[in-house]
Amino acid sequence: MSSQTRRFEGYGVLITGAARGIGEATARRLAAEGARVMVTDLDAERAAKTAKDIAGADSTGCDVGDRAAVEAAVGHAVERFGALDVLVNNAFSCSPDTPLLEDQPDETWGRDLDTTLTGAFRCARAALPHLAASGRGAIVNIGSVNAEQDFGNHAYSAAKAGLASLTRTLAGDAAPRGVRVNQVNPGTVRTPSWAGREARLDALARVYPLGRVGEPEDIAAAVAFLASRDAAWITGTTLRVDGGLLAVNTSFADVVEDG
Distances, alpha carbon 94 to alpha carbons 106, 108, 124, 137, 228, in Å: 14, 9, 21, 29, 29
d(CA 233, CA 231): 6
Would you tell me how many other CB atoms lie within 10 Å of the CB of residue 199?
A: 8
d(CA 94, CA 239): 21
Report the candidate in 26, 23, 21, 24 with the shortest Cα–Cα distance to residue 8.
26
Report the candidate in 172, 24, 153, 179 with the shortest Cα–Cα distance to residue 90.
24
Query: Is-catalytic flag, 49?
Result: no
Catalytic residue among 11, 49, 52, 156: 156
Query: Is-catalytic flag, 11?
Result: no
Catalytic residues: 156, 160
